[in-house]
Amino acid sequence: MPEVPDLSGRVVVITGGSSGIGAAAAAALARLGAAVAIVGRSPVKTQAVAAATGAAPFTCDFAQLDQVRRLAGELAAAYARIDVLANNAGLLSRRRVLTADGHELTLQVNHLAPFLLTHLLAERLGEGSKVLVTSSRMQLVGRIDRRDLAPRGDGTERTPRYRPLRVYGTTKLENVLFASELARRWGGRGVAAASFNPGTVRTDFGRRGGLAVALAYRSPIRHLLLSPAEGADTLVWLASTPAGEAWRPGGCYERRRPARSHPRARDQGLAAWLFDRSAELVGLA
Ligand SMILES: NC(=O)c1ccc[n+]([C@@H]2O[C@H](COP(=O)([O-])OP(=O)(O)OC[C@H]3O[C@@H](n4cnc5c(N)ncnc54)[C@H](OP(=O)(O)O)[C@@H]3O)[C@@H](O)[C@H]2O)c1
């Protein structure tokens, strides 16, 4: 029988913990003994998952970076050390929307807000801590344009209009590059980072994503999609097994194995550039 990991005494923070993959991961990690904190946008959903799993509830809308700063302060006040930070919250905006911070919404929620949160919690992430990021197979359609991290069409370029799936895929490629560069930069102080693709999972995600996503997630084949617990499996595995032994820091995983990732996912120059550019965009540079 495989050994069941014991996470007693470990603190795990999961963003996007109020629903889907994050809620399933919270339940699984709490069962392994971890003290779990979940972050959700909806207070009602977050409270409900917290009550069902025994997790501590925190709320934050990543569309507002001030709220991310507030959340980081609350988490830092509640926990002297964070063993696992799972940056899992994500969305796919159907239209190009700019946040009050001036960033495209999908880019901010999926990449910039977790980038900022991770940095603001740096002092709570020490030797042996892990930072995990939920990416997607959609990273394969991502395309990083150094002029605009959420590529937009302005009528004069090859992308004449906002393409939600392309922008979403780009943020998911950014997730992979962030995890790999974080592993390089913070590895020296014992922090391991990785990303993973959950597969196609039956969650609320499909309801929010528009026609193309809805077709995939709400069609008659919906029952063939993974359950949230199956989608959370690789996250739970990364959180509960030793970095450097079970998995390689900086890697992207799927079904507990190295994932097929975007050709540019291993471009260290691009990852370093993205890291520095993201720091500028969230006011950390
Ligand atoms: N489902 C799939 O097939 C699939 C495939 C590949 C990757 N993923 C990724 O998996 C992650 C989890 O998605 P899911 O499938 O579990 O979808 P979900 O059920 O819709 O959960 C998304 C989570 O993100 C939170 N969230 C959304 N917008 C937010 C915002 N502005 N601020 C803070 N939190 C926000 C939601 O909070 P509230 O519910 O409280 O609003 C919810 O907890 C995402 O990063 C997604 O891109 C999903």
CA of residue 2 to ligand 1 center, whole Å: 30
CATH number reported for the structural domain that contains residue 159 in this entry: 3.40.50.720
Q: Which residue minimizes the CA distance to atom 26 of ligand 1?
A: 89
Judge whether 241 lies within some domain: yes
Atom of ligand 1 nearest to the CA of 134: 45
Judge whether 218 lies within some domain: no
| 24-68 confidence digits (pLDDT tens) | 999 999 999 999 999 999 999 999 999 999 999 999 999 999 999
Q: What pLDDT is recorded for position 218? A: 61
| 92-108 confidence digits (pLDDT tens) | 999 999 999 999 999 99
Provide the number of structural domains found in the chain. Answer: 1
Judge whether 211 lies within some domain: no
8 A C-beta contact, residue 129 and residue 81: yes
193-229 in b/e form (b: 16+ CB < 10 A) is bbbbbbbbbbbebbeebeeebeeebeeeeeeebbebe
* Residue 156 in this model has a pLDDT that exceeds 50: no
**Candidate of 97, 138, 204 to mutate for ligand 1, largest count of ligand atoms within 8 Å of Cβ:** 204
* Residue 266 in this model has a pLDDT that exceeds 50: yes
- Which residues does 89 contact at the CB level (< 8 Å), separation at least 6? 15, 16, 22, 39, 41, 62, 109, 110, 113, 114
- Does 217 qualify as catalytic in the annotation? no
Q: What pLDDT is recorded for position 4? A: 85
Q: What pLDDT is recorded for position 215? A: 59
Q: Which residue minimizes the CA distance to atom 1 of ligand 1?
A: 201
| 178-231 confidence digits (pLDDT tens) | 999 999 999 999 999 999 999 999 998 866 655 556 656 666 666 779 999 999
Is ligand 1 within 6 A of the CB of residue 236?
Answer: no
Q: What pLDDT is recorded for position 153? A: 57
* Residue 114 in this model has a pLDDT that exceeds 80: yes
Judge whether 62 lies within some domain: yes
pTM score, whole prediction: 0.95
Is ligand 1 within 6 A of the CB of residue 59?
Answer: no
Q: Which residue minimizes the CA distance to atom 38 of ligand 1?
A: 41
- Kindly report the backbone phi and psi dihedral angles of residue 177, in degrees, each rounded to the nearest multiple of 5, phi listed first: -65, -35
CA distance linking residue 99 with residue 59, whole number of Å: 18
Is ligand 1 within 6 A of the CB of residue 209?
Answer: no
Range of the domain at 188: 11-201+228-281
Per-residue confidence at 155, pLDDT binned at 50, 70, 90?
very low
- Which residues does 51 contact at the CB level (< 8 Å), separation at least 6? none
Q: What pLDDT is recorded for position 221? A: 66
- Which residues does 173 contact at the CB level (< 8 Å), separation at least 6? 135, 139, 142, 143, 144, 262, 264, 265
Mean predicted lDDT score pLDDT of the chain = 92
CA distance linking residue 153 with residue 62, whole number of Å: 24
Q: What pLDDT is recorded for position 285? A: 77
Rounded mean pLDDT, 70-76: 98
Q: What pLDDT is recorded for position 14? A: 99
* Residue 82 in this model has a pLDDT that exceeds 50: yes
* Residue 113 in this model has a pLDDT that exceeds 50: yes
- By CB neighbour count within 10 A (0-12 exposed, 13-18 middle, 19+ buried), where does 161 fall? exposed
CA distance linking residue 197 with residue 207, whole number of Å: 19
Judge whether 214 lies within some domain: no
Q: Which residue has the tokens 């084949």?
A: 221
167, HSE (Cβ side, Cα atoms, 13 Å): 28
8 A C-beta contact, residue 80 and residue 16: no
Judge whether 264 lies within some domain: yes
Atom of ligand 1 nearest to the CA of 63: 31
In the chain, % of residues over pLDDT 90 = 82
Judge whether 103 lies within some domain: yes
CA distance linking residue 222 with residue 224, whole number of Å: 5
Judge whether 108 lies within some domain: yes
